[in-house]
Amino acid sequence: MDLTEQKAAARKLAFARRKDAFANAAPGRSAHLSAVLAGYRGVPLAGYMPIRTEISPLAAMAEASAHGPVGVPVIQGEAMPLEFSRWEPDGALRDGPFGAKVPIEDNFFDPEIVIVPLVAFDIRGGRLGYGGGFYDRTLERLRARRATLAIGLAFDAQEADALPLEDTDQPLDMMITDTRIIEF
């Protein structure tokens, strides 16, 4: 099985685990994220608009927006890095690619903290995404400009013993789950 097939198989298993975790999740899933972000008040950050069974960072993003800029990813095109547009908790949104909402008006900025959605993670900071490479290209670009903290957000059930990773896969600096905070 080549690496592409290994990643596809790992994604299939992780999607099933995430779906179960989402269906059985208790309230307050992003409480640990809020606690971590409180230590970075005012630092420009980017979250994401949750789709399907992703754990939601919206409550933590709303809290952070009271202290500094918060953005959400806007896909610019295939094989291109993401741009992050300023988001407000009650701001007007439009449909973006892949079903994620984006602000009606683009107001782009570079975040110093990126909350990263994922399909699976490992205890070494590895992350398996959806396969488009958007976050890998984006983190590589941001990290070339300045230190950028990549925080994965997921359910505990999304942890894998090992992931089929490539050299281009950008590592996470921290992982926040519904029950833990893991620093790498």
- Across 96-113, b (16+ Cβ under 10 Å) vs e yields beeebbbbeeeeeebbbb
Please give the mean pLDDT across all residues of the chain.
93
pLDDT digits (tens, 9 = 90+) for 84-142: 999 999 999 999 877 789 999 999 999 999 999 999 999 999 999 988 899 999 999 99
Determine the structural domain holding residue 90 and report its residue range. Answer: 3-183
Supply the CATH number for residue 112's domain: 3.40.50.10420
Number of structural domains in the chain = 1
Residue 131 pLDDT? 87
